[in-house]
Chain A
Amino acid sequence: MLSTIITHELKNIFFSPKFSVTFIVVSLLLILSVIVGIDQYQKAIRQYETTTQLVQQEMREARGWMSLNNKILRKPDPMQIFVAGVNNDVGRISGISSFFAVKLSHSTFSDDPIYAVFRFVDFAFIVTVVFSLLAILFTYDAINGEAEKGTLQLTFANAVPRAQYIVGKFVGSWLGLIIPLAVPMLISLLLLLLWNVPLQSEEWLKIVSLFAAALLYVTFFISLGIFLSTMTKRSSVSFLFSLVTWVCMVFIIPRAGATVAGHIITVPTVAEIEAQREAFSKDRWTEYEGTMQEKWKARNAPTQTMTKQEREAFRDSKMWEWMEEDDRDRKQVQVDIDEQAKKLNEDLRNRKAEQEYLAFVLSRFSPASAFQLAAMNLAGTDIALKSRYEDALNEYRPVFNTYKDKKQKETGNSGGFRIEVNSDTGVKIDAGREKGVLDISEMPQFTHPKHTFSDAMASAVIDFGLLGFFSLTTFAGAFVRFLRYDVR
């Protein structure tokens, strides 16, 4: 009985006139996006490699160890083919030097704004928007459509248990939609192999998990469609409900989450922080001046009754003590100001983190957000990508600088000029050493931050759980509704 219902539902989907057209279009879209993704990835890799070589070349040709600066490029990750995430927004390059803090700049979008205008339609986007819409369009009338057709009546004129029917309906629609959606996914895996995209087992695991998350997400919309089709008698009504729900989940809630979080937890702007720091600094210095005046009054007090000579002798004897004391106070002021700045920065970061957290919590009421977060976390193009790189860069910076200092001391070269006068060759001004002879073969190499499969899973597991939970509850809702559904 169950298998009859399932096969029938499968046929019902496969034979429906909208089926072939939609699935051809969706498959083409997905495959196209993967091809474009592979192309962009390979371009990024080429750019990464040539620029890295260029940086090496530049370093070898540096004037001396003192002026040696490194540049680190963010290494393209094949996962960006599927989930662009923040990849195009985060800077791709950072200088490493003694004087400047690390800072990633030159993002894809800032270098090529055209990409920002026509944002890359990646796998995650297609799944989030197109797959979910498809799932809804094929299921919104699963039950009430049959009631309208009259086929539900004829079905239940037979000894068909309702539970079996709704389960069969769900499994049938699930297979009928998942199989066709899995086909372009499998094709995209073939494309990766065909184009020789370098994938380690870690990445394969990530991709498989990403696909699993996508299917779970689609499962939710299948359940939702069936659920809504049990909520109303008329399919035109459930169609409207489905569309509205879809728009809310895919477009409104994720953005509303961020907006609401922004209103609940306000994060001061950089200018506000700057102003606060300035104000504190000004207050602190004014206070210092005040105490200074008091101090000098006190210091001068005993001299009132002294003769001029006594007074000068007294001041001379106290001079060092006073100077040291004043210096200490001044330094204390600077320490206070620095501490305040640090505290402000920390506050800012904490509030930002709080806001982010709240935004994620709120937006996760939508499975679309849950899926997107899962996808980005799996791909490593999540919001933490920037800080992962910055942390790695900050770790590397002292290592690099130590190496540089050591080398400089060893060669005893200050990086200055050398002027050589030779009767044969004339005057030669040399910038310390020959160009291109700096031996950087022992230079410590930057290790790109690792984003392992278990890291990915650890951060994605909550969203997997949510997607599973959403799917289950909507299906349970459909199930319960259908047990009492009027089949006439």
Chain B
Amino acid sequence: MNNQPLLEAVNLSKRYEDGALAVNNVSFFVKPGEIFAMLGGNGAGKTTTINIFLNFIEPTSGEARINGISSHVEPLKAKQHVAFVSENVMLYTNFTAIQNLDYFVRLGGKTQYTKDDYRKVLLRVGLQEEAHNKKLKGFSKGMRQKCGIAVAILKDAPAILLDEPTSGLDPKSGFEFIQLLDSLRNEGKAILMSTHDIFRAKEIADTIGIMRQGNLVMQKSREELSGENLEQLYMNFMAGVYE
């Protein structure tokens, strides 16, 4: 396995038009088979960072790279290597789960899948068979989230961006989700996940970054964190103890 970073932020900064500095000179990378968990409170700049990777917004300075490709210089090329699950997965409510999958997976450039492939992946992410051909209108947030993850899995991209994927999930779904992430990591995916959830992050992440007011104030690997009290660290960072 190639060990070059698949996701890489290089001195990334973003100042919005209104002057707010949402991301300030942030650098990190995620290698294949790694999960990077970005912790931080509301407004820390997590979503902004992920949006720069997806070229939804342009960085003010620095660069976000996917598989070595700058996402704002060559967005179409860069996005071929990444799948995305947003905080609120929103799909077409007048379409069934399978229809939604089929559309977004095709947009992702994958046209070879059969209905059976969709079925298998939906089962893998934990969506019961009865729901596969139901319109999304009546789906709970958790069910929609599962569909979104299925889309990401089917895109079969080497890198995955997850923006607060566990927010709003019940404990059981949350647990299943962590297991799923683990299996994706074992497949060699590079995963960047933003979250508020310290416990889940600690459980699964290979590297944990803490963001505060646009700054990546801490970045430690699992080994570096072993023996440390992450909750305490987090609280301290959030309180600005180390500044």
Contacts and interface: CB of A to CB of B under 8 A. Distances in A.
A153 B155 contact: no
A155 to B, nearest CB: 6
Interface string B46-58: 0000010011110
B83 to A, nearest CB: 7
B90 A151 contact: yes
A157 B109 CA distance: 12
B213 interface: no
B107 interface: yes
A149 B92 contact: yes
Interface stretch (A4-12, A93-101, A199-207, A235-243): A4-12
A293 interface: no
Nearest to B109: A159
A154 B88 CA distance: 10
A488 B148 contact: no
Interface of A: 1, 4-5, 8, 11-12, 15-17, 149-151, 153-161, 486-488
A488 B76 contact: no
Interface in B54-94: 54-57, 75-77, 79-80, 82-84, 86, 88-94
A97 to B, nearest CB: 69
Interface stretch (B98-106, B121-129, B193-201): B98-106
30 contacts: A1-B106, A1-B109, A4-B106, A4-B107, A5-B107, A11-B95, A11-B99, A12-B92, A16-B94, A17-B94, A150-B86, A150-B88, A151-B91, A153-B86, A154-B91, A154-B104, A154-B148, A154-B151, A155-B104, A156-B55, A156-B56, A157-B84, A159-B75, A159-B77, A159-B80, A159-B109, A160-B76, A487-B56, A488-B51, A488-B57
A159 B76 contact: yes
A5 B102 CA distance: 12
Contacts of A16: 94
B107 A155 contact: yes
A321 B143 CA distance: 115
Nearest to A8: B103
Most buried by B among A17, A155, A157, A161: A157
A432 B103 CA distance: 90
Given A156-B56, A157-B54, 10 more contacts: A12-B94, A12-B95, A15-B95, A16-B94, A149-B90, A154-B86, A157-B79, A157-B82, A158-B155, A486-B57
Contact of A154 (B77, B80, B84, B95): B84
Most buried by A among B75, B91, B99, B103: B103
Contacts of A151: 90-92
B99 A488 contact: no
Contacts of B54: 156-157
Contacts of B106: 1, 4
A87 B70 CA distance: 66
Interface residues of B, number: 33
A199 B181 CA distance: 70
Contacts of A149: 90, 92-93
B33 interface: no
Contacts of A156: 54-56, 79
B108 interface: yes
Most buried by B among A17, A153, A155: A153
Contacts of A486: 56-57
A154 to B, nearest CB: 6
Given A149-B90, A151-B90, A153-B86, A158 B104 contact: yes
A113 B109 CA distance: 64
A143 to B, nearest CB: 15
A488 B94 contact: no
Contact of A488 (B56, B79, B83): B56
Contacts of B103: 4, 8
Contacts of B155: 158
Contacts of A161: 76
A88 B111 CA distance: 58
Given A11-B99, A154-B148, A160 B94 contact: no
For the complex of A and B, list the 10 residue pairs with the smallest distance between their C-beta atoms, beginning with the closest.
Answer: A150-B90, A157-B84, A159-B79, A4-B106, A158-B107, A159-B76, A159-B80, A158-B108, A15-B94, A488-B56
A250 to B, nearest CB: 29
Contacts of B89: 150, 154
Nearest to A165: B107
Contacts of A12: 92, 94-95
B189 to A, nearest CB: 15
A15 B135 CA distance: 11
A153 B56 contact: yes
Nearest to B75: A159
Nearest to B81: A159
A284 B211 CA distance: 99
Most buried by B among A149, A154, A486, A487: A154
Contacts of B51: 488
Contacts of B79: 156-159
Contacts of B107: 1, 4-5, 155, 158, 160
Nearest to A4: B106
Contact of A158 (B56, B93, B94, B109): B109
Contacts of B151: 154
Most buried by B among A5, A17, A150: A150
A109 B228 CA distance: 93
Interface in B100-142: 103-104, 106-109
Contacts of B148: 154
Nearest to B84: A157
Nearest to B57: A488
Nearest to A15: B94
A15 B77 CA distance: 33
A337 to B, nearest CB: 76
A153 B86 CA distance: 9
B35 to A, nearest CB: 19
A8 B107 CA distance: 10
Contacts of A154: 84, 86, 89-91, 104, 148, 151
Contacts of B92: 12, 149, 151
Contacts of B93: 149
Contacts of B94: 12, 15-17
